[in-house]
Structure 1
């Protein structure tokens, strides 16, 4: 069985990072396969270094600190890959905590399906006090999939995934750094993999919990993120030069935005609990229409560092 390395990108989340790492220290059923953990610190100041070093004595495998001072989600992922030559690469976000059987379930699912990338389910957690939108936000930050392990048609995001390096992560920098600030680097990677005939799998038992920080556990953030997710299909088609496909996605998006926008307004008028879901779908439709540069929300990189600086100064 091939060696696997877990890459954990992080940016100024010391408590979250410790929770994520300790969940990895407790992994079961992967002795002799789980090679190491690579923590990629995307803070220019290298703020995670001391915390990672303090935890190294508790780690059952080598715990490698990697500094990626240029802020950006794609840069962080590429830097983690450059720090290891392992044939299997798992990604866990720093705001996630893995269940004890997480990594073993991903490895077993990859072996049984032969998929190039395997994804697992996520339980969303949001802070107390999020109000009526809490059920929607927990679903938004979570991930559901098939009840059983097997091949799937469409990919998910990088968080909670296992990739075969030789087929899914070709080249020294497989993640497009043009997505450093807006995200979507995984969408582009998986679209290219699909075009090459790559396969995607689902590991039904590979559970993680995702803890949304307070500044993200808001309806405004979730709908902005939904808009960005909606941009993905149109942007992918444009990147491939598939302009009929772009027009098709824009037409779908316009219909989606109009239909779900009207449904959302009706549900809002009657104070229905599911109104947030309707506005989510409308936002994704608008994203398909307004996919061009200049409309891209920036969630990562220097924008996130600037936000953290404002919080610390307040």
Structure 2
């Protein structure tokens, strides 16, 4: 009597990569970010490998949940698990730590909720891990500004883009980063094992509309301990420059808090602190309309506000 063979049960692919998106009260931007990830592929790995997407929602109102739920079916058709995780600890550092804890993959990828990935982004970002193996620990991509429906302001020069977390511009070709060359947390991939015994500092990262930064100091720790970092300019994301930031006053505030953040970071990790000799007449400073500045006078004010923030941090705990 002939026997009937049952079809072999489908084997769920192994999750090799976890994409983590930290979000806070920006459902429309989160939706655009997720839409840019549909169709992204791991590439290079074995056919049994896959990726997952974790949305870490840092708002108690969980505005990101319906955005995730509305797209889960589309990702499921492509074999990509998409999960919403609520993290009530305030700040992006708490969200990043939760993302690391929830991640299944040995490789973790960060992309921010106000960014959109270019076609082929994930495959390009992961390619150095496949090609160079253990010689690579961290991979960083490039960030291009997206001004939305607004034109780029005439005063906003290319060398000011770093203040908006855009255009690192280290090279036109892929290569290892050198000491002193940095990258943003919003477009990078790294081996999860590097986070053993480490975490993102919850008192240094962004919280709500605050501008304290440097939660990415953990990557500097990794690199100081020998983690090799590779730069891939073609692994590009587009970062929305929010309309309320397209003015010089926001830029001055941003640079002031960058100065505060840098000094607090240096003190925390026992790094050498900088010293400047400068005198400022605050009354005259307040009378200057920074919105009229451009070129070298604007650059001088950017440096001054950074130094003021750096000096102010001396009185902070």
TM exceeds 0.5? yes
Aligned 8 A contact 1:140 1:222 in 2: yes
- Give the Å deviation of 1:177: 1.4
The number of aligned residues is 278
Distance (whole Å) between structure 2 residues aligned to residue 287 and residue 110 of structure 1? 39
Aligned 8 A contact 1:122 1:210 in 2: yes
Question: Is 1:83–2:102 an aligned residue pair?
Answer: yes
Aligned Cα root-mean-square deviation (Å)? 3.1
Match of 1:308 in 2: none
Aligned 8 A contact 1:123 1:138 in 2: no
Instruction: Indicate the SS of the match to 2:275.
Output: helix
- Give the Å deviation of 1:134: 4.5
Unmatched runs of 5 consecutive residues or more in structure 1: 259-267, 296-314
The one of 182, 188, 196 equivalent to 1:170 is 196
Aligned 8 A contact 1:4 1:36 in 2: yes
Question: Is 1:120–2:141 an aligned residue pair?
Answer: yes
Distance (whole Å) between structure 2 residues aligned to residue 197 and residue 232 of structure 1? 24
Normalised TM-score (structure 2): 0.76
Distance (whole Å) between structure 2 residues aligned to residue 112 and residue 225 of structure 1? 38
Question: Is 1:21–2:34 an aligned residue pair?
Answer: yes
- Give the Å deviation of 1:230: 3.4
Query: Rg bigger for which structure?
Result: 2
Instruction: Indicate the SS of the match to 2:245.
Output: coil
Distance (whole Å) between structure 2 residues aligned to residue 157 and residue 208 of structure 1? 11
Normalised TM-score (structure 1): 0.77
Distance (whole Å) between structure 2 residues aligned to residue 110 and residue 277 of structure 1? 39
CA deviations 1:122-145 (Å, max 9, x no partner) are 111224166443556766432232
- Give the Å deviation of 1:112: 4.6
- Give the Å deviation of 1:111: 4.2
Question: Is 1:46–2:68 an aligned residue pair?
Answer: no
Aligned 8 A contact 2:259 2:310 in 1: yes
Question: Is 1:7–2:20 an aligned residue pair?
Answer: yes
Instruction: Indicate the SS of the match to 1:178.
Output: coil
Match of 1:301 in 2: none
Question: Is 1:286–2:308 an aligned residue pair?
Answer: yes
Residues 250, 231 of structure 1: alpha-carbon distance in 2 compared, 3 angstrom cutoff:
farther
